């Protein structure tokens, strides 16, 4: 089951949207058990990424360190791609993960309602 994570800063909500799609890692042979992470600081709009780690905890640590602020939130990736979208006008942000870069970007923008104020901050994939 593909779970996409949506985080809205204004309400502090964490919601998951599940689909019946089956995840097939984009680079299954090269990324059999590979981890990454995206971090985001709502107070500063700073972000960081970490990719191609052998453990989720290592990827989270590096991404949070690259973000550089105490309020950095982290989304972990496992054999997939992730995207971060922010809307500074509304004070909200979303992230999503999916098997491909374009699918992750599209899902995060969909969570943002394709708002003209929504800005794609970063996309990254295992294997980058």
Q: Where are the domains of the chain?
A: 2-20+34-125
Give whole-number Cα distances, 88 to 26, 36, 94, 126, in Å. 31, 25, 12, 28
pLDDT < 70 stretches in the chain: 1-31
Give the predicted TM-score (pTM) of the model: 0.75
Please state, in angstroms and rounded to a whole number, the distance separating the CA atoms of residues 19 and 3: 7
Phi, psi torsion values for 126, nearest 5 degrees: -60, 130
Cβ atoms of 32 and 78 within 8 Å: the answer is no
Question: String of b and e for 108-120 (b: at least 16 CB within 10 Å)?
Answer: bbbbbeeeeebbe
């Amino acid at each position: 089951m593909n779970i996409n994570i949506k985080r809205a800063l204004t309400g502090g909500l964490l919601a998951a949207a599940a689909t019946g799609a089956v995840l097939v890692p984009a680079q299954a042979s090269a990324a059999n058990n590979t981890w990454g992470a995206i971090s985001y600081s709502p107070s500063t709009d700073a972000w960081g990424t970490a990719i191609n780690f052998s453990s989720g905890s290592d990827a989270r640590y590096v991404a949070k360190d690259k973000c550089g602020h105490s309020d950095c939130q982290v989304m972990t990736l496992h054999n997939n791609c992730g995207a971060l979208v922010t809307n500074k006008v509304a004070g909200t942000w979303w992230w999503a993960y999916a098997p491909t870069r374009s699918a992750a970007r599209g899902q995060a923008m969909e969570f943002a309602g394709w708002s003209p104020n929504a800005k794609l901050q970063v996309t990254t994939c295992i294997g980058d």
